[in-house]
Structure 1
Amino acid sequence: MSAIAPAVPAPTAEVASGSSSGDEYDQLTDAKENLRLVKAALEEAVPREVSALSKRRQELVALISELGGKKEVSIADQLAERRAARRRAEPEASATS
């Protein structure tokens, strides 16, 4: 048994009843709950457990970003979008001058 077992809370009646009642499964809520558990486990983890927990934390953060609709836009894409916006604005500016 791991040293982190006491840090992981027992499931509540609300969680247990919600999963068996046929309600729609919410992946985002579940991923956030898993991330909370992983963070709690990292607080109590022994060194040999840190690597696996850290990797799982990174996976969950990526999943939450994906499910939440927050997409990271690279700097190159941001610059390309700004250049395109300037190009679109240039003909309008020269037409009014």
Structure 2
Amino acid sequence: MSNKVESPMWRALDDLYNDVSAHQTTVAQALKAADKQMDSGKGDVWMGPVARSWGSDLHGHSAGLGSQTSAFLDAVLKERNSLDKEVTPQQAHMEQLQLSGRI
């Protein structure tokens, strides 16, 4: 008989990974419509030098969102995989306190 229980920290990271993975495409595409409308400040939404600068920034953020989402998922997975899936009840209690912000 094992005296180990599921790690709350491992579970929280696994849930986070699964939640973000389920919405990865939506997140990666979140700025695409606005970027297209702005057309780097040459679109119908807003024009002029400030619009070009702002539109250029928006285009960069839009283009980078997919890779940032992937990098975030990789970091969550790496952290989750560095933890034991099962821990002692005492360790689980400490992890639960950490997750709740009580320590």
The TM-score bracket by the shorter chain reads 0.3 to 0.5
Q: TM-score, normalised by structure 1?
A: 0.33
Higher relative contact order (CA 8 A, sep 6+): 2
